[in-house]
């Protein structure tokens, strides 16, 4: 549910990071916070368990500057990825304008990635949003760095086949831990979201 403030020439959009538990959603926001903390007054807010698993959400305001004469103010959120936290996950998705789907590249996570995307579809449907009908979403295939450590990871072809064959969303190979493609992912998500808003208005 974007808010457009004509007086201030400002758009507020909400982008939510979704994906299986331990996939690296919080790590994405932590990296972004590290990149912007010197120029924002706000803190990153995290509601989590003692074991650092997201319980409710992480939150970070992230401004990308102007797009087409409008100041775009973005609120980034992560949901808890663990299956058992669907009630809070659903709440965070309220009013979502765009999604970053963080898939875990580890081979053992294959089914969890697929289940998480399916759960996203259901949760969006709860808010009358159709994931498969022009919904702004970017795929991030995370933890690519693990290959160097000999951890078996899924190929991009497999990930594309499993998660993106129908969606055909833009995707990024990333490592949230090192920051590789973290900024590229968020920029793409914000641009897509703003463009889709414009399509609604015009």
Q: Is 185 in the site for Mg ion (CB under 5 A)?
A: no
Helix (H) / strand (E) element for 196: namely helix 182-201
Task: Kindly determine how many residues on this chain lie close enough to bind ligand GTP according to the rule CB under 6 A.
Answer: 22
Q: Are strands 137-142 and 98-104 parallel, antiparallel or unpaired?
A: parallel
Q: How many CA atoms lie less than 13 Å away from 104 in the CB half-sphere?
A: 23
Among 21, 64, 67, 88, binds another protein (CB under 8 A): 88
Stretch that binds another protein, among 94-102, 109-117, 161-169, 174-182 (CB under 8 A): 94-102
| 142: partner contacted, choices ligand GTP, Mg ion, another protein, none (Cβ within 5-8 A by kind) | ligand GTP
Give 71's strand partners: 10, 66
- Among the residue ranges 113-121, 138-146, 154-162, 165-173, the one whose residues contact ligand GTP (CB under 6 A): 138-146
**92 sits near another protein (criterion: CB under 8 A):** yes
DSSP H or E run through 188: helix 182-201
Partners of 82 in beta bridges: none
Q: How many residues bind another protein (CB under 8 A)?
A: 31
Per-position x/- string for 16-45, each x denoting binding to Mg ion as judged by CB under 5 A, each - no binding: ---------xx-------------------
Q: What angle do CA 96, 102, 104 make, to 5 degrees?
A: 155
Q: What is the DSSP letter of 104?
A: E
Q: What are the beta bridge partners of residue 175? A: 180
Beta carbon of residue 84, minimum distance to ligand GTP (angstroms, whole number):
10
Please, which residue, 88 or 158, has the CB nearer to another protein? 88
- From residue 126, how far is each of 11, 30, 87, 166 by CA, in Å? 25, 29, 12, 20
By the criterion CB under 6 A, which residues form the site for ligand GTP?
19, 21-27, 52-54, 78, 80-82, 142-143, 145-146, 175-177
């Amino acid at each position: 549910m974007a808010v457009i403030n004509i007086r201030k020439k400002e758009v507020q959009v909400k982008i939510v990071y979704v994906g299986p538990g331990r996939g690296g959603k919080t790590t994405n926001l932590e990296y972004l916070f590290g990149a912007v903390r010197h120029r924002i007054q706000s803190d990153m807010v995290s509601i989590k368990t003692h074991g650092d698993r997201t319980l409710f959400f992480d939150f970070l305001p992230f401004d990308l500057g102007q797009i087409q004469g409008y100041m775009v103010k973005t609120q980034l959120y992560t949901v808890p990825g663990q299956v058992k936290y669907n009630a809070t996950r659903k709440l965070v998705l309220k009013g979502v304008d765009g999604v970053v789907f963080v898939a875990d590249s580890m081979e053992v996570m294959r089914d969890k990635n697929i289940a998480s995307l399916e759960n996203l579809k259901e949760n969006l449907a709860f808010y009358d949003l159709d994931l498969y009908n022009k919904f702004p979403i970017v795929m991030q295939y995370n933890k690519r760095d693990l290959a160097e450590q000999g951890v078996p990871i899924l190929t991009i072809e497999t990930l594309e086949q499993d998660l993106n064959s129908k969606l055909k969303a833009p995707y990024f190979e990333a490592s949230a831990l090192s920051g590789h493609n973290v900024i590229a992912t968020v920029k793409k998500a914000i641009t897509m979201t703003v463009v889709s808003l414009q399509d609604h208005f015009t």
